[in-house]
Structure 1
Protein backbone atom coordinates (compact mmCIF):
# COMPACT_ATOMS: atom_id res chain seq x y z
CA UNK A 1 0.00 0.00 0.00
CA UNK A 2 1.10 3.57 -0.59
CA UNK A 3 1.10 6.26 2.10
CA UNK A 4 -2.26 7.73 1.07
CA UNK A 5 -4.03 4.38 1.32
CA UNK A 6 -2.49 3.70 4.75
CA UNK A 7 -3.50 7.12 6.09
CA UNK A 8 -7.04 7.01 4.68
CA UNK A 9 -7.80 3.48 5.85
CA UNK A 10 -6.28 4.06 9.30
CA UNK A 11 -8.31 7.21 9.89
CA UNK A 12 -11.43 5.54 8.51
CA UNK A 13 -10.99 2.64 10.94
CA UNK A 14 -10.44 4.91 13.92
CA UNK A 15 -13.43 7.10 13.11
CA UNK A 16 -15.84 4.29 12.24
CA UNK A 17 -14.95 1.51 14.72
CA UNK A 18 -17.14 2.95 17.46
CA UNK A 19 -19.68 4.67 15.24
CA UNK A 20 -22.63 2.42 14.27
CA UNK A 21 -21.77 2.45 10.56
CA UNK A 22 -19.45 -0.60 10.26
CA UNK A 23 -15.70 -0.09 10.22
CA UNK A 24 -15.16 -3.37 8.34
CA UNK A 25 -17.36 -2.14 5.50
CA UNK A 26 -15.44 1.13 5.28
CA UNK A 27 -12.14 -0.77 5.19
CA UNK A 28 -13.28 -3.09 2.41
CA UNK A 29 -15.14 -0.61 0.20
CA UNK A 30 -12.25 1.74 -0.75
CA UNK A 31 -10.27 -1.17 -2.15
CA UNK A 32 -13.21 -2.26 -4.27
CA UNK A 33 -14.56 1.14 -5.33
CA UNK A 34 -11.20 2.94 -5.85
CA UNK A 35 -9.42 -0.06 -7.31
CA UNK A 36 -6.89 -0.12 -4.47
CA UNK A 37 -5.19 -3.40 -3.62
CA UNK A 38 -7.06 -5.08 -0.77
CA UNK A 39 -5.20 -4.24 2.44
CA UNK A 40 -5.81 -7.76 3.75
CA UNK A 41 -6.57 -9.25 7.14
CA UNK A 42 -3.19 -8.28 8.65
CA UNK A 43 -3.74 -4.55 8.15
CA UNK A 44 -7.32 -4.87 9.35
CA UNK A 45 -5.99 -6.48 12.54
CA UNK A 46 -3.36 -3.76 13.00
CA UNK A 47 -5.85 -0.90 12.86
CA UNK A 48 -8.18 -2.84 15.16
CA UNK A 49 -5.32 -3.08 17.66
CA UNK A 50 -5.03 0.70 17.46
CA UNK A 51 -8.70 1.18 18.25
CA UNK A 52 -8.47 -1.46 20.98
CA UNK A 53 -5.69 0.52 22.65
CA UNK A 54 -7.82 3.66 22.37
CA UNK A 55 -10.89 2.19 24.06
CA UNK A 56 -8.78 0.61 26.82
CA UNK A 57 -7.07 3.93 27.47
CA UNK A 58 -10.35 5.85 27.45
CA UNK A 59 -12.08 3.42 29.83
CA UNK A 60 -8.98 2.65 31.89
CA UNK A 61 -10.66 3.50 35.20
CA UNK A 62 -13.67 1.29 34.43
CA UNK A 63 -11.42 -1.55 33.30
CA UNK A 64 -9.33 -1.32 36.46
CA UNK A 65 -12.44 -1.55 38.66
CA UNK A 66 -13.78 -4.50 36.64
CA UNK A 67 -10.50 -6.43 36.89
CA UNK A 68 -9.96 -5.57 40.57
CA UNK A 69 -13.44 -6.57 41.74
CA UNK A 70 -13.53 -9.65 39.50
CA UNK A 71 -10.24 -10.83 41.01
CA UNK A 72 -11.55 -10.21 44.53
CA UNK A 73 -14.72 -12.16 43.74
CA UNK A 74 -12.61 -15.13 42.63
CA UNK A 75 -10.82 -14.95 45.99
CA UNK A 76 -14.18 -15.21 47.76
CA UNK A 77 -14.28 -11.62 48.95
CA UNK A 78 -17.80 -10.90 47.78
CA UNK A 79 -19.39 -9.60 44.61
CA UNK A 80 -19.94 -6.05 43.48
CA UNK A 81 -21.58 -4.41 40.51
CA UNK A 82 -18.15 -4.20 38.87
CA UNK A 83 -17.36 -7.88 39.39
CA UNK A 84 -20.75 -8.82 37.93
CA UNK A 85 -20.13 -6.56 34.95
CA UNK A 86 -16.77 -8.24 34.35
CA UNK A 87 -18.47 -11.64 34.27
CA UNK A 88 -21.17 -10.33 31.94
CA UNK A 89 -18.62 -8.90 29.50
CA UNK A 90 -16.58 -12.10 29.52
CA UNK A 91 -19.51 -14.47 29.08
CA UNK A 92 -21.20 -12.31 26.45
CA UNK A 93 -18.02 -12.54 24.36
CA UNK A 94 -18.33 -16.31 23.81
CA UNK A 95 -20.99 -16.20 21.03
CA UNK A 96 -18.72 -14.03 18.87
CA UNK A 97 -15.71 -16.25 19.62
CA UNK A 98 -17.55 -19.41 18.57
CA UNK A 99 -19.04 -17.82 15.45
CA UNK A 100 -15.67 -16.29 14.55
CA UNK A 101 -13.84 -19.63 14.76
CA UNK A 102 -16.52 -21.24 12.60
CA UNK A 103 -16.26 -18.51 9.96
CA UNK A 104 -12.46 -18.76 9.86
CA UNK A 105 -12.46 -22.58 9.73
CA UNK A 106 -14.96 -22.70 6.87
CA UNK A 107 -13.58 -19.74 4.92
CA UNK A 108 -16.88 -17.89 5.22
CA UNK A 109 -15.09 -14.77 6.49
CA UNK A 110 -13.31 -14.31 3.16
CA UNK A 111 -16.42 -15.14 1.14
CA UNK A 112 -18.40 -12.37 2.84
CA UNK A 113 -15.89 -9.59 2.01
CA UNK A 114 -17.99 -8.30 -0.90
CA UNK A 115 -19.82 -5.11 -1.84
CA UNK A 116 -23.12 -6.99 -2.21
CA UNK A 117 -23.00 -8.36 1.33
CA UNK A 118 -22.08 -4.94 2.72
CA UNK A 119 -24.94 -3.30 0.82
CA UNK A 120 -27.49 -5.76 2.23
CA UNK A 121 -26.27 -5.60 5.83
CA UNK A 122 -25.88 -1.81 5.72
CA UNK A 123 -29.50 -1.34 4.70
CA UNK A 124 -30.99 -4.12 6.84
CA UNK A 125 -29.27 -3.35 10.12
CA UNK A 126 -29.42 0.39 9.50
CA UNK A 127 -33.20 0.18 9.31
CA UNK A 128 -33.30 -2.05 12.39
CA UNK A 129 -31.17 0.48 14.29
CA UNK A 130 -33.66 3.20 13.39
CA UNK A 131 -36.55 1.14 14.72
CA UNK A 132 -34.71 0.44 17.98
CA UNK A 133 -33.75 4.08 18.48
CA UNK A 134 -37.27 5.34 17.80
CA UNK A 135 -39.31 2.74 19.68
CA UNK A 136 -36.84 1.79 22.45
CA UNK A 137 -37.99 2.74 25.95
CA UNK A 138 -34.50 4.01 26.92
CA UNK A 139 -35.15 3.73 30.67
CA UNK A 140 -32.71 1.09 31.99
CA UNK A 141 -29.32 2.30 33.29
CA UNK A 142 -26.20 0.20 32.79
CA UNK A 143 -26.20 -0.77 36.50
CA UNK A 144 -29.39 -2.78 35.91
CA UNK A 145 -27.88 -5.11 33.32
CA UNK A 146 -28.04 -8.83 34.12
CA UNK A 147 -26.67 -12.03 32.62
CA UNK A 148 -29.70 -12.60 30.37
CA UNK A 149 -29.61 -9.17 28.76
CA UNK A 150 -25.81 -9.24 28.50
CA UNK A 151 -25.91 -12.57 26.65
CA UNK A 152 -28.58 -11.29 24.27
CA UNK A 153 -26.33 -8.37 23.39
CA UNK A 154 -23.44 -10.84 23.08
CA UNK A 155 -25.34 -12.91 20.51
CA UNK A 156 -25.99 -9.70 18.58
CA UNK A 157 -22.25 -9.01 18.61
CA UNK A 158 -21.62 -12.40 16.98
CA UNK A 159 -23.72 -11.35 13.99
CA UNK A 160 -21.52 -8.27 13.59
CA UNK A 161 -18.73 -10.46 12.20
CA UNK A 162 -20.61 -10.24 8.91
CA UNK A 163 -19.13 -7.20 7.08
CA UNK A 164 -21.37 -4.16 6.98
CA UNK A 165 -23.33 -5.09 10.09
CA UNK A 166 -21.36 -2.85 12.52
CA UNK A 167 -20.35 -4.31 15.87
CA UNK A 168 -21.20 -1.16 17.79
CA UNK A 169 -24.34 -0.64 15.72
CA UNK A 170 -25.91 -4.03 16.35
CA UNK A 171 -24.92 -4.23 20.02
CA UNK A 172 -26.32 -0.76 20.70
CA UNK A 173 -29.42 -1.72 18.70
CA UNK A 174 -29.91 -4.85 20.81
CA UNK A 175 -29.43 -2.90 24.04
CA UNK A 176 -31.97 -0.26 22.96
CA UNK A 177 -34.48 -2.97 22.08
CA UNK A 178 -34.02 -4.34 25.59
CA UNK A 179 -34.90 -0.93 27.01
CA UNK A 180 -31.47 0.47 27.95
CA UNK A 181 -30.62 4.15 27.85
CA UNK A 182 -28.61 5.27 24.85
CA UNK A 183 -25.42 6.09 26.75
CA UNK A 184 -25.69 2.84 28.75
CA UNK A 185 -26.03 0.89 25.50
CA UNK A 186 -22.98 2.64 24.04
CA UNK A 187 -20.79 2.13 27.13
CA UNK A 188 -21.57 -1.60 27.34
CA UNK A 189 -20.93 -1.91 23.61
CA UNK A 190 -17.51 -0.33 24.05
CA UNK A 191 -16.59 -2.56 27.00
CA UNK A 192 -17.82 -5.62 25.10
CA UNK A 193 -15.52 -4.74 22.19
CA UNK A 194 -12.37 -5.18 24.27
CA UNK A 195 -12.08 -8.98 24.74
CA UNK A 196 -13.32 -9.96 21.29
CA UNK A 197 -11.05 -7.46 19.51
CA UNK A 198 -8.10 -8.49 21.67
CA UNK A 199 -8.64 -12.18 20.99
CA UNK A 200 -9.10 -11.76 17.25
CA UNK A 201 -6.03 -9.54 16.97
CA UNK A 202 -3.85 -11.99 18.89
CA UNK A 203 -4.86 -14.83 16.58
CA UNK A 204 -3.93 -12.82 13.50
CA UNK A 205 -0.61 -11.77 15.07
CA UNK A 206 0.23 -15.42 15.75
CA UNK A 207 -0.56 -16.28 12.13
CA UNK A 208 1.68 -13.44 10.94
CA UNK A 209 4.57 -14.59 13.13
CA UNK A 210 4.29 -18.12 11.75
CA UNK A 211 3.96 -16.92 8.16
CA UNK A 212 6.89 -17.16 5.75
CA UNK A 213 5.61 -14.21 3.72
CA UNK A 214 7.21 -10.77 4.00
CA UNK A 215 5.29 -8.68 6.53
CA UNK A 216 5.27 -4.92 6.06
CA UNK A 217 5.54 -4.10 9.75
CA UNK A 218 5.99 -0.39 9.05
CA UNK A 219 2.57 -0.24 7.42
CA UNK A 220 0.97 -2.15 10.30
CA UNK A 221 2.50 0.02 13.03
CA UNK A 222 1.61 3.25 11.21
CA UNK A 223 -1.95 2.06 10.74
CA UNK A 224 -2.30 1.12 14.41
CA UNK A 225 -1.05 4.51 15.62
CA UNK A 226 -3.24 6.57 13.31
CA UNK A 227 -6.37 4.52 13.99
CA UNK A 228 -5.79 4.70 17.74
CA UNK A 229 -5.52 8.50 17.80
CA UNK A 230 -8.62 9.02 15.69
CA UNK A 231 -10.55 6.43 17.73
CA UNK A 232 -9.85 8.29 20.99
CA UNK A 233 -11.39 11.44 19.55
CA UNK A 234 -14.32 9.49 18.14
CA UNK A 235 -15.22 7.83 21.47
CA UNK A 236 -15.19 11.15 23.31
CA UNK A 237 -17.48 12.94 20.87
CA UNK A 238 -19.78 9.96 20.24
CA UNK A 239 -20.65 9.44 23.91
CA UNK A 240 -21.60 13.09 24.20
CA UNK A 241 -23.54 13.11 20.96
CA UNK A 242 -25.59 9.93 21.32
CA UNK A 243 -27.43 11.12 24.44
CA UNK A 244 -28.38 14.40 22.71
CA UNK A 245 -29.05 13.39 19.11
CA UNK A 246 -29.67 9.66 19.21
CA UNK A 247 -28.79 7.35 16.34
CA UNK A 248 -30.94 8.80 13.56
CA UNK A 249 -28.06 10.65 11.83
CA UNK A 250 -26.24 7.33 11.53
CA UNK A 251 -29.41 5.56 10.37
CA UNK A 252 -29.79 8.09 7.55
CA UNK A 253 -26.11 7.74 6.63
CA UNK A 254 -26.36 3.94 6.49
CA UNK A 255 -29.46 4.01 4.32
CA UNK A 256 -27.88 6.49 1.91
CA UNK A 257 -24.67 4.45 1.81
CA UNK A 258 -26.62 1.25 1.15
CA UNK A 259 -28.53 2.85 -1.71
CA UNK A 260 -25.29 4.22 -3.17
CA UNK A 261 -23.76 0.75 -3.04
CA UNK A 262 -26.82 -0.66 -4.77
CA UNK A 263 -26.10 1.72 -7.64
CA UNK A 264 -22.48 0.52 -7.96
CA UNK A 265 -23.31 -3.21 -7.87
Structure 2
Protein backbone atom coordinates (compact mmCIF):
# COMPACT_ATOMS: atom_id res chain seq x y z
CA UNK A 1 0.00 0.00 0.00
CA UNK A 2 1.30 3.48 -0.91
CA UNK A 3 0.52 7.05 0.12
CA UNK A 4 -1.80 9.05 -2.11
CA UNK A 5 -0.13 11.30 -4.65
CA UNK A 6 -1.16 14.86 -5.43
CA UNK A 7 -2.89 13.74 -8.64
CA UNK A 8 -4.93 11.00 -6.95
CA UNK A 9 -8.61 11.75 -6.31
CA UNK A 10 -9.46 12.74 -2.74
CA UNK A 11 -12.94 11.26 -3.15
CA UNK A 12 -14.46 8.70 -5.48
CA UNK A 13 -18.24 8.87 -5.36
CA UNK A 14 -19.22 8.77 -1.70
CA UNK A 15 -15.86 7.28 -0.68
CA UNK A 16 -12.85 9.08 0.82
CA UNK A 17 -9.64 7.68 -0.64
CA UNK A 18 -7.04 6.65 1.92
CA UNK A 19 -4.17 4.97 0.06
CA UNK A 20 -3.07 3.47 -3.23
CA UNK A 21 -3.13 -0.32 -3.27
CA UNK A 22 -0.36 -0.59 -5.88
CA UNK A 23 3.06 1.01 -5.74
CA UNK A 24 3.70 3.90 -8.06
CA UNK A 25 5.03 2.58 -11.35
CA UNK A 26 3.86 -1.00 -10.78
CA UNK A 27 3.94 -2.95 -14.03
CA UNK A 28 1.01 -4.87 -15.38
CA UNK A 29 -1.65 -3.27 -13.17
CA UNK A 30 -4.82 -2.96 -15.31
CA UNK A 31 -6.78 -0.81 -12.82
CA UNK A 32 -6.05 2.10 -10.52
CA UNK A 33 -6.86 0.60 -7.13
CA UNK A 34 -7.45 2.54 -3.94
CA UNK A 35 -8.25 1.76 -0.34
CA UNK A 36 -11.21 3.99 0.55
CA UNK A 37 -13.78 4.50 3.27
CA UNK A 38 -17.42 5.52 3.10
CA UNK A 39 -18.15 9.08 4.23
CA UNK A 40 -19.89 7.81 7.37
CA UNK A 41 -16.87 5.65 8.25
CA UNK A 42 -18.93 2.49 8.20
CA UNK A 43 -17.37 0.69 5.21
CA UNK A 44 -13.83 0.17 4.00
CA UNK A 45 -13.65 -0.77 0.34
CA UNK A 46 -11.36 -1.30 -2.61
CA UNK A 47 -12.28 1.24 -5.31
CA UNK A 48 -11.05 0.72 -8.86
CA UNK A 49 -10.74 3.22 -11.71
CA UNK A 50 -9.67 2.82 -15.34
CA UNK A 51 -5.91 3.14 -15.84
CA UNK A 52 -4.47 6.26 -17.46
CA UNK A 53 -4.99 6.05 -21.20
CA UNK A 54 -7.59 3.30 -20.92
CA UNK A 55 -11.00 3.42 -22.59
CA UNK A 56 -13.43 4.31 -19.75
CA UNK A 57 -16.48 3.15 -21.71
CA UNK A 58 -15.04 -0.31 -22.34
CA UNK A 59 -13.72 -0.49 -18.79
CA UNK A 60 -17.17 0.36 -17.39
CA UNK A 61 -18.76 -2.31 -19.58
CA UNK A 62 -16.33 -4.89 -18.23
CA UNK A 63 -17.05 -3.77 -14.66
CA UNK A 64 -20.78 -4.30 -15.28
CA UNK A 65 -20.05 -7.77 -16.65
CA UNK A 66 -17.85 -8.55 -13.66
CA UNK A 67 -20.69 -7.62 -11.30
CA UNK A 68 -22.56 -10.64 -12.68
CA UNK A 69 -19.73 -12.99 -11.75
CA UNK A 70 -20.59 -14.00 -8.20
CA UNK A 71 -18.87 -17.39 -8.12
CA UNK A 72 -16.30 -18.03 -5.37
CA UNK A 73 -12.72 -17.25 -6.29
CA UNK A 74 -13.32 -13.76 -7.70
CA UNK A 75 -12.88 -10.41 -6.02
CA UNK A 76 -16.51 -9.24 -5.94
CA UNK A 77 -17.79 -6.11 -7.63
CA UNK A 78 -20.14 -4.72 -5.01
CA UNK A 79 -21.07 -1.27 -6.32
CA UNK A 80 -20.87 0.50 -9.66
CA UNK A 81 -20.82 4.28 -10.00
CA UNK A 82 -19.42 7.33 -11.70
CA UNK A 83 -19.97 8.88 -15.09
CA UNK A 84 -19.11 7.68 -18.62
CA UNK A 85 -15.89 9.71 -18.42
CA UNK A 86 -15.08 8.71 -14.83
CA UNK A 87 -16.48 5.25 -14.02
CA UNK A 88 -15.57 3.32 -10.90
CA UNK A 89 -16.52 0.24 -8.95
CA UNK A 90 -16.14 -0.66 -5.30
CA UNK A 91 -15.73 -3.99 -3.54
CA UNK A 92 -15.54 -4.94 0.14
CA UNK A 93 -11.90 -4.75 1.18
CA UNK A 94 -9.90 -7.40 2.94
CA UNK A 95 -6.15 -7.46 3.50
CA UNK A 96 -4.58 -8.79 0.31
CA UNK A 97 -1.33 -8.66 -1.63
CA UNK A 98 -1.08 -8.65 -5.43
CA UNK A 99 0.97 -11.64 -6.53
CA UNK A 100 4.05 -9.49 -7.39
CA UNK A 101 3.99 -8.17 -3.81
CA UNK A 102 3.77 -11.74 -2.52
CA UNK A 103 6.94 -12.66 -4.39
CA UNK A 104 8.62 -9.49 -3.13
CA UNK A 105 7.67 -10.31 0.46
CA UNK A 106 8.85 -13.88 0.04
CA UNK A 107 12.12 -12.74 -1.49
CA UNK A 108 11.71 -14.54 -4.81
CA UNK A 109 9.71 -17.26 -6.55
CA UNK A 110 7.30 -19.31 -4.46
CA UNK A 111 7.72 -22.99 -3.51
CA UNK A 112 6.23 -25.46 -5.95
CA UNK A 113 3.77 -26.83 -3.37
CA UNK A 114 2.32 -23.37 -2.75
CA UNK A 115 2.16 -22.61 -6.48
CA UNK A 116 0.18 -25.81 -6.96
CA UNK A 117 -2.36 -24.75 -4.33
CA UNK A 118 -2.66 -21.18 -5.62
CA UNK A 119 -2.79 -22.30 -9.25
CA UNK A 120 -5.38 -24.97 -8.51
CA UNK A 121 -7.60 -22.38 -6.83
CA UNK A 122 -7.32 -20.03 -9.81
CA UNK A 123 -8.02 -22.88 -12.23
CA UNK A 124 -11.14 -23.84 -10.29
CA UNK A 125 -12.38 -20.24 -10.34
CA UNK A 126 -11.86 -20.02 -14.11
CA UNK A 127 -13.60 -23.36 -14.63
CA UNK A 128 -16.65 -22.09 -12.73
CA UNK A 129 -16.77 -18.97 -14.89
CA UNK A 130 -16.35 -20.87 -18.14
CA UNK A 131 -19.19 -23.24 -17.21
CA UNK A 132 -21.62 -20.31 -17.24
CA UNK A 133 -20.14 -18.89 -20.45
CA UNK A 134 -18.07 -16.09 -18.91
CA UNK A 135 -14.49 -15.44 -20.06
CA UNK A 136 -12.33 -13.61 -17.53
CA UNK A 137 -10.02 -11.82 -19.95
CA UNK A 138 -7.74 -10.24 -17.36
CA UNK A 139 -5.72 -13.02 -15.72
CA UNK A 140 -2.28 -11.63 -14.84
CA UNK A 141 0.05 -11.55 -11.82
CA UNK A 142 -1.18 -8.13 -10.70
CA UNK A 143 -4.78 -9.34 -11.00
CA UNK A 144 -4.21 -12.18 -8.52
CA UNK A 145 -4.90 -10.85 -5.02
CA UNK A 146 -3.64 -13.21 -2.33
CA UNK A 147 -5.53 -13.24 0.97
CA UNK A 148 -4.95 -15.34 4.06
CA UNK A 149 -7.52 -17.79 2.67
CA UNK A 150 -6.00 -18.02 -0.78
CA UNK A 151 -6.03 -16.08 -4.06
CA UNK A 152 -8.89 -14.18 -5.66
CA UNK A 153 -9.03 -13.06 -9.28
CA UNK A 154 -9.64 -9.40 -9.98
CA UNK A 155 -9.04 -7.21 -13.06
CA UNK A 156 -11.94 -8.81 -14.92
CA UNK A 157 -11.90 -8.06 -18.65
CA UNK A 158 -8.68 -6.05 -18.49
CA UNK A 159 -7.44 -7.28 -21.88
CA UNK A 160 -10.65 -6.30 -23.61
CA UNK A 161 -11.03 -3.02 -21.73
CA UNK A 162 -7.57 -1.74 -22.64
CA UNK A 163 -7.85 -2.17 -26.41
CA UNK A 164 -8.27 1.33 -27.80
CA UNK A 165 -9.79 2.30 -31.11
CA UNK A 166 -7.33 1.83 -33.95
CA UNK A 167 -4.89 -0.19 -31.85
CA UNK A 168 -4.35 -3.91 -31.55
CA UNK A 169 -5.02 -5.61 -28.24
CA UNK A 170 -1.29 -5.89 -27.64
CA UNK A 171 -0.76 -2.18 -28.31
CA UNK A 172 -3.65 -1.07 -26.13
CA UNK A 173 -3.13 -3.40 -23.17
CA UNK A 174 -1.35 -2.55 -19.96
CA UNK A 175 -1.23 -6.21 -18.99
CA UNK A 176 2.10 -8.01 -19.01
CA UNK A 177 2.55 -9.01 -22.65
CA UNK A 178 3.57 -12.48 -21.47
CA UNK A 179 -0.04 -13.03 -20.39
CA UNK A 180 -1.45 -12.39 -23.87
CA UNK A 181 -2.01 -15.51 -25.95
CA UNK A 182 -0.50 -15.19 -29.46
CA UNK A 183 -3.93 -15.10 -31.09
CA UNK A 184 -5.05 -12.36 -28.70
CA UNK A 185 -1.88 -10.33 -29.22
CA UNK A 186 -2.58 -10.57 -32.96
CA UNK A 187 -5.97 -8.90 -32.44
CA UNK A 188 -8.16 -11.96 -31.98
CA UNK A 189 -10.94 -12.20 -29.41
CA UNK A 190 -10.30 -13.12 -25.80
CA UNK A 191 -11.75 -16.58 -25.17
CA UNK A 192 -11.45 -19.49 -22.74
CA UNK A 193 -8.21 -20.69 -24.34
CA UNK A 194 -6.77 -17.21 -23.82
CA UNK A 195 -7.64 -17.43 -20.13
CA UNK A 196 -5.74 -20.73 -19.88
CA UNK A 197 -2.71 -19.23 -21.63
CA UNK A 198 -2.74 -16.37 -19.11
CA UNK A 199 -3.12 -18.84 -16.25
CA UNK A 200 0.01 -20.61 -17.49
CA UNK A 201 1.82 -17.27 -17.48
CA UNK A 202 0.72 -16.64 -13.88
CA UNK A 203 1.94 -20.10 -12.84
CA UNK A 204 5.25 -19.43 -14.57
CA UNK A 205 5.54 -16.08 -12.81
CA UNK A 206 4.76 -17.53 -9.40
CA UNK A 207 7.39 -20.23 -9.68
CA UNK A 208 10.13 -18.30 -11.53
CA UNK A 209 9.41 -14.58 -11.20
CA UNK A 210 8.84 -14.23 -14.98
CA UNK A 211 5.76 -14.70 -17.15
CA UNK A 212 7.96 -15.93 -20.01
CA UNK A 213 10.74 -17.95 -18.36
CA UNK A 214 13.25 -20.23 -20.00
CA UNK A 215 12.20 -23.89 -19.91
CA UNK A 216 15.00 -24.83 -17.55
CA UNK A 217 13.87 -22.22 -15.03
CA UNK A 218 10.55 -24.01 -14.48
CA UNK A 219 10.63 -26.83 -11.90
CA UNK A 220 10.38 -30.22 -13.59
CA UNK A 221 7.13 -31.02 -11.82
CA UNK A 222 5.35 -28.05 -13.43
CA UNK A 223 7.20 -27.78 -16.71
CA UNK A 224 4.89 -29.90 -18.89
CA UNK A 225 1.72 -28.30 -17.54
CA UNK A 226 2.93 -24.72 -17.93
CA UNK A 227 4.19 -25.52 -21.43
CA UNK A 228 0.80 -26.99 -22.36
CA UNK A 229 -1.07 -23.97 -21.01
CA UNK A 230 1.21 -21.68 -23.01
CA UNK A 231 0.94 -23.63 -26.25
CA UNK A 232 0.73 -21.43 -29.33
CA UNK A 233 -2.09 -23.66 -30.54
CA UNK A 234 -5.24 -22.75 -28.57
CA UNK A 235 -6.70 -26.21 -29.19
CA UNK A 236 -3.72 -27.84 -27.48
CA UNK A 237 -4.24 -26.03 -24.19
CA UNK A 238 -5.96 -27.92 -21.36
CA UNK A 239 -9.27 -26.90 -19.85
CA UNK A 240 -9.09 -25.22 -16.41
CA UNK A 241 -10.55 -28.34 -14.79
CA UNK A 242 -7.69 -30.31 -16.32
CA UNK A 243 -5.18 -27.81 -14.93
CA UNK A 244 -6.72 -28.28 -11.49
CA UNK A 245 -6.45 -32.07 -11.79
CA UNK A 246 -2.78 -31.82 -12.78
CA UNK A 247 -1.87 -29.38 -10.04
CA UNK A 248 -3.81 -31.04 -7.22
CA UNK A 249 -4.61 -34.65 -8.10
CA UNK A 250 -7.67 -35.82 -6.22
CA UNK A 251 -8.82 -32.34 -5.18
CA UNK A 252 -12.59 -32.12 -5.08
CA UNK A 253 -13.99 -29.55 -7.48
CA UNK A 254 -15.64 -26.78 -5.47
CA UNK A 255 -13.41 -27.16 -2.41
CA UNK A 256 -10.78 -24.51 -3.19
CA UNK A 257 -12.09 -21.27 -4.67
CA UNK A 258 -13.80 -19.19 -2.02
CA UNK A 259 -12.21 -21.08 0.87
CA UNK A 260 -12.77 -19.57 4.31
CA UNK A 261 -9.96 -21.42 6.10
CA UNK A 262 -6.43 -19.95 6.08
CA UNK A 263 -3.99 -21.54 3.66
CA UNK A 264 -0.35 -22.23 4.45
CA UNK A 265 1.66 -19.19 3.36
CA UNK A 266 5.36 -18.46 3.95
CA UNK A 267 6.08 -16.53 7.13
CA UNK A 268 7.23 -13.40 5.30
CA UNK A 269 3.99 -13.32 3.29
CA UNK A 270 1.91 -13.77 6.45
CA UNK A 271 3.85 -10.90 8.04
CA UNK A 272 3.18 -8.69 5.00
CA UNK A 273 -0.54 -9.48 5.19
CA UNK A 274 -0.46 -8.64 8.90
CA UNK A 275 1.06 -5.27 8.05
CA UNK A 276 -1.77 -4.74 5.57
CA UNK A 277 -4.26 -5.47 8.35
CA UNK A 278 -2.53 -2.93 10.60
CA UNK A 279 -2.54 -0.34 7.83
CA UNK A 280 -6.21 -1.01 7.22
CA UNK A 281 -7.03 -0.42 10.88
CA UNK A 282 -4.91 2.73 10.98
CA UNK A 283 -6.56 4.07 7.84
CA UNK A 284 -9.98 3.55 9.39
CA UNK A 285 -9.21 5.83 12.32
CA UNK A 286 -10.85 9.28 12.18
CA UNK A 287 -7.45 10.93 12.61
CA UNK A 288 -6.51 9.60 9.21
CA UNK A 289 -9.33 11.46 7.46
CA UNK A 290 -8.23 13.12 4.23
Normalising by structure 1, we get a TM-score of: 0.30
Q: Which has the higher contact order (CA 8 A, sep 6+)?
A: 1
- Name whichever structure is richer in strand by fraction: 2
Which structure has more helix as a fraction of its residues? 1
